[in-house]
Amino acid sequence: MDFLLYHIMVDKLQNVKGTRDIIFEEAEKFIHIIDTARRISKFYGYSEAILPTLEYYELFAKKSGYEINKRMYVFEDLSKRKIALRPELTPSVARVFINKLQQLPKPLRISYFANVFRYDEPQKARYREFWQAGFEHLGSQSVLADIEIVNMCYDIFSALGIEKVQLKVGHMGLIKELLKIGGVRDLELPYFLYLIDKKNFDELKRKISSYEKGLEVYEILLNLSNLKGDNIMDEAKKYLKYEPLLKHLENFYIFISYLNSINLKNYSIDLSFARGIEYYTGVIYEYYVPNLNVSVGGGGRYDLLIEYYGGFHTPATGCALGIDRIALIQNIKVNYQKILCIIYSLNINEKLIQFLFKIVSELKEVNCIVNIDTTNHSLKEALSEASKKKANYFLIIGEKELRKNVVIVRDMLTKNQYEVDLSKLKEWFLNNVRSRI
């Protein structure tokens, strides 16, 4: 084969940069995280939506924020329509709500578990295709809706065995109001929010200093970023002298008091904290865990998004958890059944196949993983392969076993071998496998 052609073919077999294959045990961990989030959110009354991977570019272009707008995968379809791979799902939920769900009793609780796409620079815990578990609470302006989602996510972390989750909280309405006081116009807000989100205060100062009250606003943000300890809210009043800012602070104080009411102690307040998504209007937050330098989830209140898209005024709040990042946490408890049984059959015929699948059915009822040996290996070779696969039990059937209605069960750990009546196979596994689960 031509050398250049070979390298072209090999290159085409590689993953697209920023994507990866999630296989075997890692895939099981992903499924376990999703199943846990799905189960917990159902207890809270959330119903699942499966939404399109492709959306019109305009759905995300104006309200998803400066960085997401830059990072979207965008292309024209054959009809010259501008299409995007979804970079997030909240706008998609807003779209389906307006088109199909607006007349339903409020509030609506919607969940989703899906992959999203952003053209980020790949690094640990950051991919160009990644997975989210999301929860949207539509139609309530009560702070209880925000607290419900925060508490539900803590329940999900707890069910996964993840401890010491830290919550960072802030208020996007306060940040936006402050920027507007400084003279920043609506169209310019996304870029300034991006700078604040990235804590790029040098660039922020340079950009905002040209506005009439820009340096004053910059100093306020800088002072807010330095606030620490238990008296942050009282200290913040010294800097937030404008009435609209004090109103946002008052609303934020209610949220904090509710957090305290549910005995949520592991949180920190950062009043200079902004998330890069532009549609947030109120409380915002992110979850962190020890030894991982990126958030594992975040969300907040977005009371104007649905109205912006043309729907009725519908206050809303939501959160998305990063499944890829949660999967990096080492102590996640995956409770999948790990008892592997391999069935080896000699001299296959119609009667033996029928007998074989009766065994499969019995083993499924006791939650064993069952592999039928489909090779032409000898018994010795099959046992060797079963050992490589770390099988727990190796079952042998042939004409003799068929006539006696029995199965030979070999314990791969102890090397002991048992002749078990098919009618008692389920009972035998229940008695002998329990200690290994």
SS3 category, 367: coil
CA torsion angle 62 67 70 76 (round to 10) = -50
Residue 313's Cβ-count burial label (10 Å; 0-12, 13-18, 19+) is: exposed
pLDDT tens digits in sequence order for the chain, 437 residues long: 565 655 555 567 899 999 999 999 899 999 999 999 999 999 999 999 999 999 999 999 989 999 999 999 999 999 999 999 999 999 999 999 999 999 999 999 999 999 999 999 988 889 999 999 999 999 999 999 999 999 999 999 999 999 899 999 999 999 999 999 999 998 899 999 999 999 999 999 999 999 989 999 999 999 999 998 778 988 999 999 899 999 999 999 999 999 999 887 789 999 999 998 999 999 999 999 988 989 999 999 999 999 999 999 999 999 999 999 999 997 776 766 679 999 999 888 999 999 999 999 999 999 899 999 999 899 999 999 999 999 999 999 999 999 999 999 999 999 999 999 999 999 999 998 755 55
Q: Which two tokens stand for residue 316?
A: 């809303």
Name the pairing type of β-strands 47-48 and 108-117: parallel
CA torsion angle 136 141 143 149 (round to 10) = -10
For 334-363, give the DSSP string. ------EEEEEESS--HHHHHHHHHHHHHH
Annotation: CATH topology of 16-327: BirA Bifunctional Protein; domain 2 (3.30.930)
In contact, 321 and 297? CB cutoff 8 Å? yes
Q: Which two tokens stand for residue 9?
A: 């073919």
Question: Using the 8-state DSSP alphabet, how is residue 371 labeled?
Answer: E
Give the strands of the sheet with 47-48, arranged side by side. Answer: 47-48, 108-117, 129-138, 316-322, 297-301, 283-288, 166-171, 267-269
Annotation: CATH topology of 340-436: Rossmann fold (3.40.50)
Global pTM exceeds 0.95: no
pLDDT digits (tens, 9 = 90+) for 239-257: 998 999 999 999 999 999 9
Ordered by start, the domain boundaries in the chain are 16-327, 340-436
pLDDT digits (tens, 9 = 90+) for 379-417: 999 999 999 999 999 999 999 999 999 999 999 999 999
Q: Which two tokens stand for residue 313?
A: 């005024």
